[in-house]
Structure formats: structure tokens, C-alpha cells
Amino acid sequence: MIEHQIIEAIKNKKMISFTYIEKEALRDIRRAAPHAFFVSTAGNKNVDAFQYDGYSKKGSLPAWRQFTIDNIRDLVLLDENFEVAHGYNPYSKQYDRAICKI
């Protein structure tokens, strides 16, 4: 279900909101623009997204963040559209095993 929502969000350039599990704890809601959904070299399904607001362990938002699909909870597709964020490279080597990308 979450995978299908991520793909839909990327294809339609829709913002998403979700909670994320870090170190066994759910963190506050995040709002982000998903740009790529791919399988990492470690075999994890990840989403590269430009996070606009919400919780961030690293602080300093907006910024690029990578999220593991298995740790995403309560994902909601928002009505808000987004433009491709600065710094996005659809030809990045990490997307060699892309499931979906802009």
C-alpha cells in the first residue's frame, strides 16, 4: 500500500506527509516531496525526498533526506503539488535500480 502511494505521489508530483520510525521510536510528522523510489545496494527500498518541514534529526530544513520504506507509517498523499527540487539528479548512480523516479 505505501509503495503504491509513493509511486502515485512521484508520478503526480504530490507532496506526502508521514511519520517515520527511528531507533524504535515514531517521530513527528514530516512533509516532503518524493522524487525517487529505488532499491539500494543493501537491498532496501528507499525514497529520496526533499523534506520541507516536520521532524529532522539533522535539523536545517528544507533539505534532501532518504527514507527507508519499511520505516514509514501513516503516509498521506496531500493535494499540494511540488516542483522538482534543486539538486535532484535523475541520473544518479544510486537510482540504477529505480522503481519510479521523476
Number of domains, the chain: 1
Query: Are 93 and 2 within 8 A, CB to CB?
Result: no
Provide the domain limits for residue 53: 2-101
Mean pLDDT, residues 17-27: 83
Is residue 20 predicted with pLDDT exceeding 70?
yes
Is residue 26 predicted with pLDDT exceeding 70?
no
Mean pLDDT, residues 9-25: 91
| Close Cβ partners of 39 (under 8 Å, ≥ 6 residues apart) | 45, 46, 97, 99
Is residue 30 predicted with pLDDT exceeding 80?
yes
The pLDDT-based confidence of 57 (bands split at 50, 70, 90) is: confident
- Can you list the positions of beta strands (E) in the chain? 14-22, 25-26, 30-39, 45-54, 63-68, 72-81, 98-101
